Amino acid sequence: MKIISDSTRVNYGELLKRPANNNPELRTRVQEIIEMVKTDGDKAIKLLTRKFDGIDIDHLEVDEQAIIDSQDLVDAKQKGAIWQAAKNIEKFHRAQKAKNIEVETMPGVSCKLIYRPLKRVGLYVPGGTAPLISTVLMLGIPAKIAECNEIVVCTPPPINLDILYACGLIGARVFTVGGAQAIAAMAMGTESIPKVDKIFGPGNSYVTEAKIQLASQGVPIDIPAGPSELLVIADETGIPSFIAADLLSQAEHGTDSQVVMISTSQIIITETINEINRMVNLLPRKAIAMDALSNSLAIKVDSIDRAIEISNLYAPEHLILAVNNADKYIGSVENVGSVFMGNYSPESAGDYASGTNHTLPTSGFARNWSGVTLSSFLKTITVQEINEEGIEMLGETIMALAKAEKLDAHAAAVRVRLNYLKELEL
């Protein structure tokens, strides 16, 4: 990790800049995949699966019996872990259920806000070397609580048994398709894969690019996605081995992952780097973590307030406050996906089982985007009901504004009602 000292001369906008993803070839290839799926549907999916996954598939949808059978094929200890995580995720997201709102804004004028679930949602779940079982739970459980009618999961073949078991818990339909072609299939629909109302889930650069391209065509997605990020703020009470383990937990995601440490203590920085150098040699994904760490930073600052100021500028996906009295500083935290308070709150707890959602904004989008919550699976509808008294009281205001905007028909829609009421009074 590169160590720098904070000063007014440091340009953090440049220093903490995310890797640019300016790959015209990738954009073109994803565009071609989307067009293939749009034109040839299931046929294109099977061709692309053979090309990218090296697997021939006859039926895209996993048989329901295979999902049931997975219950007996998953290790009991693993099932227990999945159940515990699911229980916590459900508890936290069920608490987010919103109540409909009704307000009388003035006599005779009633306004309501009511919630409706999305009918069909599509969840993309990466497989391969890092099968994200937790993503099934993080997205499928709030979809169930929101009472979405149908949950569609796409995941690359061969399907991981733990993923299949988790899909059974959320009652999902499962399709053996991965990559950009999976996103295209859920966005547009094929003979086998139904078109969904909104697409959720992380993925590689092809998946991310497909989501971006289809979002530009009007297909709703959860949030803009990018490489994983972690920023740790530590004072002299930070524990170097904890901090090192947390930084490595994100660095092992991918070579483009970003980890940053900011501390008021040079001793903590030095000891943390020593721990990183020791621990990284024990990781199966050492090469990946080392690549990520080569672009990582440790910043020495004079105060925690200054550290938070830098963090708000960076807007990380994850922020750990490894400081004394972390509650004292949470009010100053503005731009972040999820915060982990104190030395005993590892970022991996949020990734798996604390109950909060791990689908979070990256690449600085935490400045203006939120992570996935129960509301991500809902839409709102406003309702207004105005009676005779209400239209008489509000009518002149409406007509004045309509006249100012030179929209005479808008005004006439009120005037005809007011005239009608006057005639009734005669």
Q: Is residue 320 part of a domain?
A: yes
| Structure-model confidence comparison of residues 45 and 13, the more confident one | 45
Could you report the per-residue pLDDT of 155-171, keeping only the tens digit for each?
999 999 999 999 999 99
Say whether 317 is catalytic. Answer: yes
pLDDT of the residue at 21? 64
CB neighbourhood size of 255 (10 A): 16
User: Which phi and psi angles does 175 have, rounded to 5°?
Assistant: -125, 135
pLDDT bucket at 40, cuts 50 / 70 / 90: very high
User: How many domains does the chain contain in total?
Assistant: 3
Range of the domain at 421: 387-425
pLDDT of the residue at 20? 63
Looking at the structure, tell me whether residues 328 and 207 fall in a common domain: no
Kindly tell me the sign of the dihedral angle through the C-alpha atoms of 137, 142, 146, 150. Answer: negative
pLDDT of residue 128 exceeding 90: no
Residue from 93, 253, 318, 358 carrying the catalytic annotation: 318
Looking at the structure, tell me whether residues 269 and 200 fall in a common domain: no
Residue from 209, 229, 252, 317 carrying the catalytic annotation: 317
Could you report the per-residue pLDDT of 349-364, keeping only the tens digit for each?
999 999 999 999 999 9
Closest CA to 340 of 258, 244, 245, 232: 232
Residue 200 DSSP code:
E
Q: For the domain that residue 337 is a member of, what is the CATH number?
A: 3.40.50.1980
Looking at the structure, tell me whether residues 279 and 183 fall in a common domain: no
CA angle 274, 17, 212 (to 5 degrees): 120
Whole-number Å distance between alpha carbons of 333 and 329 = 7
Strand-by-strand arrangement of the 258-263 sheet: 2-5, 297-300, 258-263, 229-234, 318-322, 338-341
Average pLDDT, the chain: 95
Looking at the structure, tell me whether residues 235 and 192 fall in a common domain: no
Whole-number Å distance between alpha carbons of 383 and 371 = 28
Looking at the structure, tell me whether residues 38 and 135 fall in a common domain: yes
Q: Is residue 125 part of a domain?
A: yes
Percent helix, percent strand, percent coil in the chain, to nearest 5: 50, 15, 35
Say whether 318 is catalytic. Answer: yes
| Structure-model confidence comparison of residues 22 and 119, the more confident one | 119
Looking at the structure, tell me whether residues 65 and 160 fall in a common domain: yes
Looking at the structure, tell me whether residues 232 and 345 fall in a common domain: yes
Cα 378 to chain centroid, rounded? 15
Burial class (CB in 10 A: 0-12, 13-18, 19+), 215: middle
**Residue at which a domain ends, from 175, 199, 222:** 222
Residue type, 396: E
pLDDT of the residue at 235? 97
Q: Is residue 209 part of a domain?
A: yes
Q: Is residue 2 part of a domain?
A: no
Q: Is residue 8 part of a domain?
A: no
Q: Is residue 12 part of a domain?
A: no
pLDDT of residue 191 exceeding 80: yes
pLDDT of the residue at 255? 85
Q: Is residue 353 part of a domain?
A: yes
Looking at the structure, tell me whether residues 140 and 242 fall in a common domain: no
Portion of the chain with pLDDT greater than 90, in percent: 88
Whole-number Å distance between alpha carbons of 143 and 147 = 6
Asked whether the beta carbons of 36 and 42 are under 8 A apart, the reply is no
Looking at the structure, tell me whether residues 235 and 328 fall in a common domain: yes
